[in-house]
Amino acid sequence: MVRQILPISALLLGSFFLLFAGGINGLVLPVRGTQEGISAFSLGLLGTGWAIGYVSGCIFTARLVARVGHIRAFSVMASFAGVAILSQLLLISAETWIVLRAGQGFCFAGAAMIVESWLSERASPENRGKIFGIYTMVNLTASTAGQLTLTVVPATGFQLFVLGAMFYMLAVLPTALSSSATPKPLVTVSLDLRALWKNSPVAVFAVFMVGMSNASFGTLAAVYGNKIGLGVATVALFASIPILAGAAAQIPVGIFSDRVDRRKVLIGVAALGLSADLAFIALRPESVAINLTLAAIFGAAIYSMYPVIVAHANDHASGNYIQISGGLLMVFGFGSILGPTIAGVAMSSLGSAGLFGVTAASHLLLIAQALYRMSRRAAAPQDEKTGFKPAPTARNATPQTIALGASEQDLEDFEDQAAP
């Protein structure tokens, strides 16, 4: 294991710094924004801005890297993210934050793609799965640790903004000093909605709904926590525990989905998420223990649905895993653009429970459409199903992430399709 980690340690360290800074940045803005009196609607637009920038980064970074190279592009993106978080400290206004957050989303996606392309280049058929697993765990640990920084550093001052900027800057160093050879051009995927829908209507509709619900919660969980009177430390836990619960739930959910119709598993997991939604709405809990317990159940549901959806789509695909998964990631991104805006409006109009009204509607529509499709199309034969693959939080995934986690056969199929 050590032999496999050492050659990529600089890249993993750069990714850790990047995700640590991103964890701080993503949580300090809604917390500080609430303290500054910024409305829930405007804070929801932060998530919309981030998603627009992130999707744009996934689409256009490959062209930028082709022009200026991997190291220069990564340095520019990490540096801009650092400048942006400091600007958010100096210019506290919703309009400024939204624009800067969109720029950060673009840069964050681009920086992640560049690191992942390096890792993919260093991976061999024998260790690709292990490298992907290590990379995923490093990112999960870094992102969670960044969010939990709010439990020990006050959001009222300048420290968290400066700390985030410092780690964005530190992310530049490992790649700038690395002696690794420049990797191949970045992976790009085209979005063919008609082909995606023909392949699996359930996957397209479900991934859009999951994008809406996950981005709504990821953007406004801290606002919800502040509105119901949770302390800042508890708010950080409220935002972090669901991600950890979702990561832990993926393996048992995936094993079960390999054995039965994945649509049934998806409906069951969505029903669990809907139960948590309704509990938040009906109980309006004030207890820290109840809120954290419901958040864990909610996270186990919402963050384990995405890989089930991708696996279901690939059960019906014919050797184009990267193209299908990349297309679904883009659809997820479009849902992420819409969700926080709607949730922000709901929270401004209906109060804190409006957040879970939006996620409940998303989960209910997902269940209804999946049930309908089950009546129209039989499940994929067991011997034709692809294996379930755990996936990082889709909010931080890129087409390059999909390529890094793909098998050698998947990569060969993709390269054959992309060849002129």
CATH number of the domain within which 343 lies: 1.20.1250.20
Residue bearing tokens 């119901």 = 228
**Residue ranges in 285-398 assigned as alpha helix (H):** 288-302, 305-315, 321-350, 354-374
Residue 220, pLDDT score = 94
| pLDDT at residue 381 greater than cutoff 80 | no
Mean pLDDT rounded to a whole number for the chain = 88
| pLDDT at residue 419 greater than cutoff 70 | no
| 330 half-sphere exposure, CB direction, 13 A CA radius | 19
| pLDDT at residue 148 greater than cutoff 80 | yes
270 belongs to a structural domain: yes
- Where is pLDDT greater, at 151 or 129? 151
Counting every residue written for the chain, the total comes to 420
273 belongs to a structural domain: yes
- Where is pLDDT greater, at 121 or 41? 41
Among residues of the chain, what percentage have pLDDT more than 90?
57
Tell me what the mean pLDDT of segment 130-152 comes to: 89
Tell me what the mean pLDDT of segment 80-109 comes to: 95
214 belongs to a structural domain: yes
CB-CB neighbours of 25 under 10 Å? 27
Q: How many structural domains comprise the chain?
A: 1
Lowest mean pLDDT among 177-191, 257-271, 361-375: 177-191
242: enclosing H helix or E strand? helix 232-257
190 belongs to a structural domain: yes
Residue 312, pLDDT score = 86
- For residue 315, the enclosing domain spans 8-418
114 belongs to a structural domain: yes
Tell me what the mean pLDDT of segment 169-173 comes to: 91
C-alpha to C-alpha distance for 228 and 290, rounded to whole angstroms: 13
246 belongs to a structural domain: yes
Among residues of the chain, what percentage have pLDDT more than 70?
92
| pLDDT at residue 275 greater than cutoff 80 | yes
Instruction: Tell me the pLDDT band of 211, cut-offs 50, 70 and 90.
Output: very high
The token pair that represents 83 in the structure block = 């400048």
Q: Give CA separation, 233 vs 121, 225, 237, 388, in Å.
A: 40, 10, 7, 35
Task: List all residues 6 or more positions away from 124 whose beta carbon is below 8 Å from its beta carbon.
Answer: none
Instruction: Tell me the pLDDT band of 121, cut-offs 50, 70 and 90.
Output: confident
3 belongs to a structural domain: no
22 belongs to a structural domain: yes
Residue 383, pLDDT score = 65
Decide if 393 contacts 246 (C-beta within 8 A).
Answer: yes
